[in-house]
Amino acid sequence: MSDARTPAEIEADIKRRRAQLADTLDEIGVRVHPKTIVGDAKARFVGSVDHTVGRAYVSANRAVSDVKARFVDDEGAPRLDRLVPVALVVVGVVGLLAVSSRRRRG
């Protein structure tokens, strides 16, 4: 089977392939340009940070909700049976720290 293309068809094919090659080279040039590389790296970093911050926010929100559920009832009133012992422990620790601090200074 012989190639029955005319010189005009061959020339058109060559022009089309040159245009494709030029587009490919332009795309490669954009991809390897330092600004593009830096921009892509920044985008990946920001995406990673956003993802990490989002996960941290969800975890913190869950922890706060869990603590709140332990010390506040369904109606939003404080649960004194749980708050009073915790408050006493906090006051005791602060008192011990104050006494310890005075002994170190004196």
What would the DSSP string read from start to end of 16-83? HHHHHHHHHHHHHHHHHSHHHHHHHHHHHHHHHHHHHHHHHHHHHHHHHHHHHHHHB-TTS-B-HHHH
For 40, the token pair is 């892509």
The pLDDT tens digits for 26-76 are: 999 999 999 999 999 999 999 999 999 999 999 999 999 998 888 898 888
The pTM score is 0.45
